[in-house]
Each structure stands twice: as C-alpha cells, then as structure tokens.
A and B are shown apart, each in its own frame.
Chain A
Amino acid sequence: MIHIDIHKKLHGSNGNMNLDVNLTINEGDFLALAGQSGSGKTTLLRILAGLEISNGTLKIGDEIWQDEKFSLAPQKRGIGFVFQDYALFPNMTVEENLHFVNKDKALAKHLLELTELSSLKNRVPTTLSGGQKQRVSLCRALMNRPKILLMDEPLSALDPTMRTKLQNEISTLHKEFGTTTIMVSHDPSEIYRLASRVVVLNQGKIISDGTPKEVLLKTSGSQKFSFDGELLDIVKVDVIYVAIVAIGQQLVEVVVDDTQAKSLIIGDSVTISTKAFAPIILPHEK
C-alpha cells in the first residue's frame, strides 16, 4: 500500500491555496490524476519524487519516504519520472541516456526492444521525433525498476496516432514491471484506456475518486450522451425550431420546440444530451 498524507501552501495564479491530499493507493494500480491547471497535480508528483518540500507523511509499503522530521533524498526513492517535455540528456545517445540511470545493459536492451527503439540506440535525442523521444524517456524512467512511475502529461505533445501507440506501450510496461503508476492527464480516452482509478483535484483538494467510468461518464438523468456547449442561434424552419450549438471545435444542430425556443437565450451555456440508444457510430474511412 502507498499512503500519501501531505499538506503544502501553494502560491498559484488564483492566489494562495492549500494542497491537502490524503490518498491510499494499492501497489500495482494505475492511477490517473486529473483536474484543472493550477489544481496541484504536478506539485503532488514533485512531492512524491522528493523534488518539493511539504508537510505530512509518505509511506510506500514498509518504507517511510517522508515524515515530520525526515525526508528521503530523491535519488534514494524508487521513482521513475516522465516529463511532458522528455527532459533527455541532449549530448548522450539513446542508449547512454538509459545507462546513465543504471548500467543494466540487458534491461536497457529489453526496454528498447519492447518500444521498437533498438535501431535508434546510437542516435542523439535531437534526431528523434516527439514520440520516439517520449519512448526513450519512458524507458529511462523504468531503468531502475521504480516502485512508483510518475508521468506528468506524458503524451499531451504528441499527435493522436502516436498517442494511441504510446498508450499501448505504457500499458504493456506498467503490467510487465508491476509498478504503481501515477499519471497526470486531461485526456478522457487516455484515462479510460490506461487507468483503473481516477482522482480529480480542485484547488488542492480531492473532489472525485473512482473508476474512470464513474468519474468521467457525463450523464444527465437517464441521458448517457451528454455534452456541454454554447447556444449560438435559434432559427425557425417551417413549424419547428433549430438550435445551433458550438461543442468543442464543432457546431451541431438540435431541433427544439416553440416553448423551449422562447425560453433559451443566445450565448447561454447549455447541455445537449440524448439517450444512449439514439446516436449511431460511423467509423472514419482509413
């Protein structure tokens, strides 16, 4: 079991706030940490890694990493850290980046094979694509067989295809190494695919904790297909009214009746929902 009970005063962009996190995680779990920017997610990862000071206790299995009078040095904690911007050593080859952590050549070879990087082992990071750099960073984080793998939005800089590919590799590595993984992510599909548990932080406090489906499925009553948007216009066509709503990067149209057409105000935030039975799914042509 991993017991986290930490407190820290933060000076964020929205003024001061207290980070108060009390969390118990089963070993081997894949936990996603979600929440708006400035909610304390990255700070929590840095506290776990020993890169920031906080009050409280950190207990990993029977090892104490932090209590009132003691804090274990970052390099002594069994942590692997994957950053959004890769943070590779630019003057070292792929293989040297891995060996810097640990001289276990067999493990490095195995990791590079698993992530299809073997042929690139003598290249330096500047000659690699974003997806390749992040795979190197992931391999490097696993070189010391960490108890906890920490990932701070590891895939947010990558394109969707590369993201799916790396999600699969992360999932394989998480299972093979039996590590406990904590990943900061904003992407619902990534959280659903990878995590068994999601914790949502807001203003330094946990506001939601459950399975990805419990936390992320947006419902309204018995409506399971639900999106938030902005009402742009209502147009009368024949005897019906059509509302135009912006959802994300797209516009959608919804037929509304006359009473609703009269009560809705252009510019309002609205929720569009329908039952799970109505929508149809069309795969995109490849």
Chain B
Amino acid sequence: MSHIKAIITQIDTVDNLNIVKFDFYGYSLKMMSLGLTDDITVGKEVILGIKPTHIAIGKGFSGLVSYSNQIKAKIISCEKGKLLSSLKLSVEDVVLESIITLESTIAMDLKVDDDVTMMIKASELSILKVL
C-alpha cells in the first residue's frame, strides 16, 4: 500500500454516496466512497492509500481518459520479474509503487528517469487515516 498525505478540499454527497476531493501538491485528487465517518471534513489532512496494483502508468500520453486521478511522476527504480514489474515512482518527496505486467514495461520501454503519468481510479483511492 502506497501512502500519500493530502488535504480534503470538497465533499459532494448524494444519500450514502460521496465524492471527496483532495489537494496533493497542487493536484486535485478524487475519491468515491460510501458513508464517511464524522471526522472526514473539508480542511482535514488525511493519509490516502493506494494499492500498487491499482496504479496504471501512461508515457507520452495525450488524449482523454476517465481516470479521475492523474499525477506526473518520475521512475526511480524498475524491478523486472518474470511476469510482472515493480516500478517505484517519485512525486515531490513521496514514493509510490506501481505493479504492472512485464509486457507493458517492455512495450512502453519504461526505465529509470522516465517521466510518466500515474493514473488511479476514484474508486480505488481510500482514506487510511485522518490526521
């Protein structure tokens, strides 16, 4: 699980369903969630969690895509296995991990120092802790 610190900027609610928006180094992140606990309010700082298998990677990307969360990052390590690869990505002072297939890593020619875009669906971002 990769962790990032962000600040809640907006909460839109319909019945039990919420879209929570966060600020993370100027990026606006969005999270889909069912019922929120009372301590989740605008202005609060939170730790967000993302599973490495839920982070997709784009390189030289242009066009539209429905991933609500798109963050520019630099590859700082690339460990290739037999079927999968583990990428470590840095954004400001935060390091996140992405697990993708080895085939994609090779097809996209991903390597250390590449500038890429991390893409995360709003349903796959979660609040681990309210600070």
From B57-65, B111-119, B121-129, give the one contacting chain A. B121-129
Is A87 an interface residue when CB atoms closer than 8 A count as contact?
A: no
CB of B128 within 8 A of CB of A221, answer: yes
Is A260 an interface residue when CB atoms closer than 8 A count as contact?
A: yes
Inter-chain contacts of A238 with B (CB < 8 A): 81-84
User: Interface size class for chain B?
Assistant: 20 to 34
What does the 1/0 interface line of A91-110 toward B look like (CB < 8 Å)?
A: 00000000000000000000
- Say which residue of B33, B37, B81, B85 sits within 8 Å of A275 (CB atoms): B33
- Say which residue of B32, B37, B81, B129 sits within 8 Å of A219 (CB atoms): B37
Once A221-B126, A224-B34, A275-B126 are accepted as A-B contacts, the answer to whether A257 and B2 lie under 8 Å apart by CB is yes
CB distance from A255 to the nearest CB of B (A): 6
Among B32, B40, B52: residue with most chain A CB under 10 A: B52
Is A240 an interface residue when CB atoms closer than 8 A count as contact?
A: yes
Inter-chain contacts of A275 with B (CB < 8 A): 32-33, 123-124, 126
Inter-chain contacts of B80 with A (CB < 8 A): 239
CB of B51 within 8 A of CB of A222, answer: no
CB of B86 within 8 A of CB of A240, answer: yes
Nearest first, the 5 closest Cβ-Cβ pairs linking A and B are: A238-B81, A239-B81, A277-B123, A239-B86, A222-B127
Is B31 an interface residue when CB atoms closer than 8 A count as contact?
A: yes
Q: Is the interface of B mostly helix, strand, loop or mixed?
A: strand
Once A239-B99, A275-B33, A276-B34 are accepted as A-B contacts, the answer to whether A222 and B82 lie under 8 Å apart by CB is no
CB-contacts of B5-27 with A (<8 A) = 20
CB-contacts of A168-190 with B (<8 A) = none
Q: Is the interface of A mostly helix, strand, loop or mixed?
A: loop
Is A223 an interface residue when CB atoms closer than 8 A count as contact?
A: yes
Once A257-B52, A276-B34 are accepted as A-B contacts, the answer to whether A223 and B2 lie under 8 Å apart by CB is no
For the complex, give the distance between the alpha carbons of A137 and B84 in Å.
61
CB distance from A265 to the nearest CB of B (A): 17
Q: Would you give 29 A-B contacts (Cβ < 8 Å), ordered by A? A: A219-B37, A221-B49, A221-B126, A221-B128, A222-B126, A222-B127, A224-B34, A224-B35, A238-B84, A239-B79, A239-B86, A239-B99, A240-B81, A240-B84, A240-B86, A240-B99, A255-B53, A255-B99, A257-B2, A257-B99, A258-B97, A260-B1, A275-B33, A275-B124, A276-B33, A277-B32, A277-B123, A277-B124, A278-B124
Inter-chain contacts of A224 with B (CB < 8 A): 34-35
For the complex, give the distance between the alpha carbons of A195 and B79 in Å.
53
CB of A222 within 8 A of CB of B85, answer: no
CB distance from B13 to the nearest CB of A (A): 13
Which residue of the partner chain B has the closest CB to A260? B1
